[in-house]
Structure 1
Amino acid sequence: MTVFDHLPYVRFGGPDATDPLALRYYDKDLTVLGRRMEDWLRPSVAYWHSFVASGLDPFGSPTHERPWFQGEPLAAALMKADAAFAFMERLGLPFFCFHDRDVAPEGDSARQSKALLDRVLERIEGQMQRTGIRLLWGTANLFSHPRYMAGAATNPDPAVFAFAAAQVKHALEATHRLGGRNYVLWGGREGYDTLLNTDLAREDAQLGRFMNLVVEHKHRIGFTGTILIEPKPMEPTKHQYDRDVATVYGFLVRHKLLGEVKLNIEANHATLAGHSFEHEIATAASLGVLGSVDINRGDPQNGWDTDQFPNNAQDLSLPMLEVVRAGGLGDGGFNFDAKIRRQSIDVEDLLHAHVGGVDTMARALLIAERIVLDGRLDAARAERYAGWDGGLGQRILAGTESLQTLAEHAENAAPPAPRSGRQEALENWVARLS
């Protein structure tokens, strides 16, 4: 028996459903732009926020009571695994994600920690086989333990680097063992709090070497999934080296990792970096490094990572449109890197949060479909750049024009007239389709 056994199995009820736990828009088999809705979204439950978060905040003790928060650590971890799959089975989403320390406790040594994780993975493998729920991605927690207070790969102590390498090696192998489709690296403390004691060039070199070691081991063990980096600008450090998509892209080029590593983009991290969510997705897609998405939202009145469930389909429609324009996420998906609020203490609250979140994503996808089928947005964009499809534009891009020939062209042609970008009209179109 688990604390979730009394919860109902979530079903699709349609837009007019009155059951608060019925899905109104997420119909996994509905065809959207030639593809099943589930195949577009590939939604995933985050093991850490759903089954590890306790409601603790800097000003107060935990508020969420779960039976696995106490007792002998291994027994508690096994209990948590059974409860997690009982919940996910009732929710009906196809994937989950985890950190190694979400699943199993830390041991007294690297060897013992590895053994504890392997023991819990046996239980998880059985639950995956029983339920058919798959692993979207795994990762290692390289930020919670005090040994990582100065970073993992970027730590000034090479012994910490080696410990982190051992932890990632095992987490990557565990992800491979469970059939995971991706492996994520989030540099929670790969950054600095002050430049007074930081050697930027040295730490960049260390981080680049670490990432190359991960890629090398991926090929050594035959893992065919994608290695992902998750950008975030700050918090917990003052400045993190994986600040945003453009920064990570430069890192990949600099360390010869392009083609081997893609990006896992989080909504709340994008806004903390001063970007919109759709900007980060569009940038990654344009650079060929869009891999997966952590779906959540921040609070505009709080300048930190609140990790709330998405609940505004209109806001999410433009990021979803960029995913659709990119052709989807491939082996990636939309992972609910979101947690229920400190005052939401009932286990039912966790189910309500996921139902609302997946329905919000589904509505956003349907809005994106309407925008695509309407065609006016794409037509307006094509018209705006039409000159680049003609003779002069094509010659410039082909490299057959020089500054001299372009100057001659400008001197012999009529001055170009400004043209409206029609922003308000386009915004109205999108709002009316939402």
Structure 2
Amino acid sequence: MTDFFKSIQPIKYEGPESTNEFSFRHYDPDEVLLGKRMEEHLRFAVAYWHSFAWQGGDPFGGQTFERPWYADTMEGAKLKADAAFELFDILGTPFYAFHDLDARPEGATFAESKRNLEEIVDYLGNKQASHKAKLLWGTANMFTHRRWMSGAATNPDPEVYAYAAATVKSCLDATLKLGGQNYVLWGGREGYETLLNTDLKRERAHAGRFLQQVVDYAHKIGFKGSILIEPKPQEPSKHQYDYDVATVYGFLKDFGLEKEVKVNIEQGHAILAGHSFEHEIATAAALGIFGSIDMNRNDYQSGWDTDQFPNNHAEKALAFYEILRAGGYTTGGTNFDAKVRRQSLDAEDLVLAHVGGMDTCARALRAAAYMFEDGPLEAARNARYAGWDREGAKAMLAQPLEVIAQAVEDNNINPKPRSGRQERLENLWNHYI
């Protein structure tokens, strides 16, 4: 045990009228929606990196947080794990997620880093055996160290590619050992800053081959979870090859991986790509590659990826509605890829940030579930496309262009526009929110 959260008791559901800030007002894990417990719908996970590895720095200033586990040693790593599972217990979250670098100290060599990871994985495994929280997904940090400054799988140096392969292998092994339900690849530096020194075609080919090798190895070791790519358009690279969901799908198709790999979609990344969160989720579902989400928000005045905790349930309800339409999560979940502000120094701040985020998601899910169950939006959507249910309309899709054109002339087809009823549907949506 640590002393970091010593005065904070486990958070309980007390209902929307509660004045106790250390309570859930909306997240009731046992509430049943659409035949499933709220906890099973949301599958919350705490992100190891923002909650326990980030020290409060930003582009203009360094560390602001003082945590007892910040020593870059195995003792510090184990203390960090102790504190992490204390937070998981306080929140009652069923899952967590981590990068290798979050959980273990960097070694002087790859072999030393691997030994450190294996040791901390054993420690985390013992923690999982005696606590509720289990691993939602593991991943490798291949963007922080200077070796990754020009990318990992897309690096011009083949030795860096080899190091990346060894790193992912070790992290897949760790994820399998801990019973992780997914493995995520986020190519933070898989992109370019200028085309003046970039062979884009070669780099993209190397990224595709790397992912094929990862998938092959996952099959070889019997990993049954999902392999996920996390799209992001930029930052820190000027352009990243996994720009958005549609770009990732084209990439997967090109390398024959569209049946093997899904996506982990982040709210902040969707916004940076010029999309809404719900658009990216709906696109992934339509393409058959929806896997999981990173839940956060951006500061829309800042214009970059600020990774703040969600606090707008109306905004998030649109996202959860699309998740429900997609059939909900299978191996995925709602991972809080969010961090407290660098001025929020106390343990209480870290707890309450998650409490607020969990309550926001619960309100969003409840509104989305009520509307999905009642069905008015789906009825309106189906009515709008009802013409396509007629046999003649279906047959038209199989006909050549000239046959369709002749039918227009022969039957004097002159369609009249019909209202999309957007404002009526927005009013309907607001009624449920």
Show the counterpart of 1:181.
181
Whole-Å Cα distance in 1 between the matches of residues 150 and 421 of structure 2? 49
In 2, Cα distance between equivalents of 1:132 and 1:110: 32
Kindly state the Cα deviation for residue 152 of structure 1 after the two structures are TM-superposed.
0.2
Q: Which moved more, 1:3-12 or 1:251-260?
A: 3-12
Measured in 2, the distance between the counterparts of 1:191 and 1:281 equals: 23
What is the rounded CA distance, in whole Å, between the counterparts of 2:219 and 2:137 in structure 1?
17
- 8 Å Cα contact 1:294/1:335 also seen in 2: yes
C-alpha separation between the residues in 2 aligned to 1:393 and 1:263?
Answer: 33
> Could you list the runs of 4 or more consecutive aligned residues of structure 1 that deviate by over 4 angstroms after TM superposition?
none
- After superposition, give the CA deviation of every residue in 1:21-52 in whole Å (9 maximum; x if it has no partner): 11111111111011111111100000000001
Which amino acid is the alignment partner of residue 123 of structure 1? Y
| CA offsets 1:297-355 (integer angstroms, 9 cap, x no match) | 00110110000000110011111100000010111000000000011011100000000
Whole-angstrom distance in 2 between the partners of 1:48 and 1:416: 56
Tell me how far apart the structure 1 counterparts of residues 373 and 140 of structure 2 sit (CA, whole Å).
Answer: 41
Alignment-derived partner of residue 167 in structure 1: 167
Give 2:40's aligned amino acid.
D
Q: 1 CA distance for matches of 2:179 and 2:146?
A: 31
User: What secondary structure is seen at the aligned counterpart in 1 of 2:262?
Assistant: strand
Instruction: Report the residue type matching 2:240 in the other structure.
Output: Q
Over the matched positions of the two proteins, sequence identity in percent amounts to 57
Q: Match of 2:259, SS?
A: coil
Deviations 1:225-269 (A, max 9, x none): 000000000001000000000000000000111111000000000
- 1:224 deviates by 0.4
Query: What does 1:245-394 align with in structure 2 at a 5 Å threshold?
Result: 245-394=245-394
Q: Amino acid of the residue matched to residue 66 of structure 2?
A: E
Measure, in 2, the Cα distance between the counterparts of 1:262 and 1:251. Answer: 12
Task: Say whether the 8 Å CA contact 2:89–2:131 is kept in structure 1.
Answer: yes
Cα distance in 2 between the residues matched to 1:396 and 1:180: 47
Matched residue, 1:408: 406
Aligned to 2:218: 218
Q: Deviations over 1:200-225 (max 9, x none)?
A: 11001100010001001001110100
* SS state at 1:68 partner: coil
5 Å-filtered alignment, 1:419-434, equals 419-434=418-433
Q: Return the offset for 1:153.
A: 0.1
Shift of 1:5: 2.5
Distance 2:393 2:42 in 1: 37
* Superposition deviation, residue 396 in structure 1: 2.1
Answer yes or no: is 1:137 the counterpart of 2:98: no
Task: Report the Cα distance in structure 1 between the residues aligned to 2:282 and 2:390, rounded to whole angstroms.
Answer: 25
After alignment, is 289-298 or 413-422 more displaced?
413-422
Would you say 1:12 and 2:19 are equivalent positions? no
> In the TM superposition, what whole-angstrom CA distance separates every residue of 1:170-226 from its partner, at most 9, and x where no partner exists?
000000000000000000000000000000110011000100010010011101000
Extract unaligned runs of 5+ from structure 1.
none
**Whole-Å Cα distance in 2 between the matches of residues 332 and 251 of structure 1?**
21
User: 1:6, CA displacement in angstroms?
Assistant: 2.2
Contact 1:297 1:308 in 2 (8 A): yes
Name the CA distance, whole Å, in 1 between partners of 2:432 and 2:31: 19
1:76 matched to 2:100 = no
State the shift of 1:404 in Å.
Answer: 2.1
Provide the rounded CA distance (Å) in 2 between the counterparts of 1:373 and 1:413.
41
Secondary structure of 1:184's counterpart equals strand
Letter in 2 for 1:262: K
The 8 Å contact of residues 92 and 132 in structure 2, kept in 1 or not, is answered as no
- Contact 2:99–2:141 (CA under 8 A) maintained in structure 1: yes
What TM-score results when the alignment is normalised by the length of structure 1?
Answer: 0.98
What SS does structure 2 have at the residue aligned with 1:431? helix
Determine helix, strand or coil for the equivalent of 2:321: helix
- Residue pair 1:5, 1:86 contacting (<8 A) in 2 also: no
Q: 30-39 or 153-162: which moved more? A: 30-39
Deviation of the 1:391 alpha carbon: 2.1
Kept after mapping to 2: 8 A contact 1:266/1:296: yes
TM-score by length of 2: 0.98
What amino acid is the match of 2:145? H
The alpha-carbon deviation at position 165 of structure 1 amounts to 0.5
SS at match of 2:317: helix
The match for 2:31 is 30
Task: Determine the structure 1 residue equivalent to 2:61.
Answer: 60
Structure 2 unaligned segments of length 5 or more: list them: none
How many residues are matched? 431
CA distance in 1, matches of 2:241, 2:26: 38
1:410 is matched by which residue type in structure 2?
A: V
- SS of alignment partner, residue 293 of structure 2: strand
Show the 5 A alignment for 1:181-220: 181-220=181-220
User: What is the CA deviation profile of residues 120-148 of structure 1, one whole-angstrom value per residue up to 9, with x for unaligned ones?
Assistant: 11211111111121100000000001000
User: How far, CA to CA, are the matches of 2:179 and 2:373 in structure 1?
Assistant: 36
Alignment partners' CA distance in 2, 1:87 and 1:402: 62
- What secondary structure is seen at the aligned counterpart in 2 of 1:69? coil
Does the alignment pair 1:233 with 2:233?
A: yes
Deviates more, 1:106-115 or 1:374-383: 374-383
